[in-house]
Amino acid sequence: MGLNIKGRSFLTLLDYSPQEINYLLKLAADFKSLKRAGVPHDYLRGKNIVLLFEKTSTRTRCAFEVAGYDLGMGVTYLDPGSSQMGKKESLQDTAMVLGRMYDGIEYRGYEQKVVEDLAKYSGVPVWNGLTDDFHPTQMLADVLTIQEEFNDVRGRKLVFLGDARNNVANSLMVVSSKLGMHFVACAPKQLMPKKELVDKCKEIAKETGGKIELISDPSKAVKNADVLYTDIWLSMGEPDELWAQRIKLLKPYQVNQKLMKQAKKEAIFLHCLPSFHNLETTVGLEIYEKFGLKEMEVSDEVIYGKQSRAFDEAENRMHTIKAVMYATLK
């Protein structure tokens, strides 16, 4: 494919054409094969990247680190406690300094504007590792996982159940519209995505053959679905005081076996992770003690069940992030 995205930042999939997204997915599948076959692919030897995390992470951080090392790059990790950013140094100055030392910057944090400003002032490719609005690298892993199951994703129906205005749901709606998928946001009215983004995605979907729907009734929404997707009910950065209200609103949207059965027989389950599906986390235990809920957005049975691809999806974070870094830095 004759596509060239060298030098570009990866801030939201709204900036990428369907062809460019498909190019990255193909590249990710190729990198996955190389990794599985044990073939070295340190094509970016001599380059260096920095990972800035203002929120916690397991998958995204590890995916960037391992992908960076596999590509032969030097990798620096900075958390909020160990850099001057924000407290003693402005974002613009930080970006201007990092751009002098590094070939690429990953950023996870709060406002989307921050990742955009980093790209503006650093002069090097910046990759969005999650903001309050979007989580674009997650989407590539999700679509790669769906492709591995169904080959062609066009026309496939993906239903997101939960807080449908969060970063993951927003990005799923964007990628679905770009790739001609049928996206359903399934949530109570208060937690539906913003109209402005829905309208934008509907416009895009018109050109790609995709479809965007907002449906509050879970049984109706999952009918004929190929993919059921959920995410935690309270995202990073949201106050703990919201748990009570969120649980009340979202309890009917839990993905359990009963709901899975109402989708297509061959449907798969996806979750970006981390997930609250048992009492083996401190937060999960606190919620149980306060609200009597043992499982939240997904049942143990579903996440560990035959239809779950959540852990393939987690692995695919690494292959897809590798593709993004390679394509923008090579």
Annotated catalytic sites, by residue? 108, 135, 138, 231, 272, 317
Q: Of the listed pieces 185-193, 196-204, 270-278, 320-328, which binds ligand CP according to CB under 6 A?
A: 270-278
85 - beta bridge partners? 89
3-class SS at 156? Answer: coil
Find the binding residues for ligand NVA in span 127-156 (CB under 6 A). 130
The reply to whether 57 sits near ligand CP by the rule CB under 6 A is yes
Q: Which does 58 bind (CB under 5 to 8 A by kind): ligand CP, ligand NVA, none?
A: ligand CP
Q: Which does 126 bind (CB under 5 to 8 A by kind): ligand CP, ligand NVA, none?
A: none
Nearer to ligand CP, 32 or 59 (CB): 59
Contact 228, 264 (CB under 8 A): no
One-letter amino acid at 54 equals: E
Find the binding residues for ligand NVA in span 160-179 (CB under 6 A). 166-168
The reply to whether 272 sits near ligand NVA by the rule CB under 6 A is yes
Residues 72 and 42: their CA atoms lie apart, in Å, by 4
Q: How far is the CB of 52 from ligand NVA (least distance, A)?
A: 16
Q: Which does 167 bind (CB under 5 to 8 A by kind): ligand NVA, ligand CP, none?
A: ligand NVA
Find the binding residues for ligand CP in span 103-132 (CB under 6 A). 130
Residues 121 and 153: their CA atoms lie apart, in Å, by 36
| Residue 200 CB contacts under 8 Å (≥ 6 apart), including other chains | 14
| Residue 196 CB contacts under 8 Å (≥ 6 apart), including other chains | none
Among 149, 231, 295, 297, binds ligand NVA (CB under 6 A): 231
One-letter amino acid at 216 equals: S
Residues 135 and 171: their CA atoms lie apart, in Å, by 6
Residue 184: phi and psi, rounded to 5, are: -120, 125
Binding interface with ligand NVA (CB under 6 A):
130, 166-168, 231-232, 235-236, 272
Binding interface with ligand CP (CB under 6 A):
57-60, 130, 138, 272-274
